[in-house]
Amino acid sequence: MMRQGRPEATSRVRLGTPRRTGDSMKRTAIAVLAAAGLAMVAYAPAAVAAPKSYTAAQVAKHATASSCWSIVGKSVYDLTKFIPLHPGGQAMIKSLCGKNGTAAFTGKHSGQATPATTLAKYRIGALKS
C-alpha cells in the first residue's frame, strides 16, 4: 500500500555501507586486529601452492610438441609455448621434449643472461632425485 508517494515498508532498500564479501571482509578484519595489536599472521588473499617437483620419468611422459617438458639442471620446464618462439628454431626445442636438456642448454647458452632469463619463465618445478 502506498502512502503519499512512499513505498511500502517491505520494499525499502537498506542504505549505508556497501555489502562486503570474501577477501574484502578478511582484509578489513585483519586491519582492525592489526591496529589493535592482535593480528598474529599476515593475510594472503590467494592460497600459495607448494613448490612442485617431478621425476625424470614424469618428464619423459611429456615428449611431444603439444606437451614438451625438459630438464635443465635441477629444474623442470614446460617449453610447449616456447617452441615456436625459440630463436634457433623449433627443431632444437622439440629434440629436448621429455629429456634432460642440461648439456644442450649449457653448451649453447652458458653464461648468457637472456636465455637463462627466458628459460626461467617456463619453470614448473624442481627435479626429484
Q: Which domains does the chain have, with CATH numbers?
A: 19-48 (no CATH), 53-127 (3.10.120.10)
pLDDT on residue 129: 82
The neighbouring-strand residues paired with 81 are none
Cα-only R_g, the chain? 27
CB 77 within 8 A of CB 125: no
- Model pLDDT for residues 54-75, shown as the tens digit of each residue: 999 999 999 999 999 999 999 9
Choose the weakest-confidence range: 7-21, 62-76, 98-112.
7-21
- With 60 as the cut, is the pLDDT of residue 13 above it? no
Half-sphere exposure of 73 (CA within 13 A, CB side): 11
- With 80 as the cut, is the pLDDT of residue 78 above it? yes
- With 70 as the cut, is the pLDDT of residue 8 above it? no
- With 90 as the cut, is the pLDDT of residue 42 above it? no
pTM beyond 0.75: the answer is: no
The C-alpha cell at 94 is 622439440
- Model pLDDT for residues 21-30, shown as the tens digit of each residue: 666 666 666 5
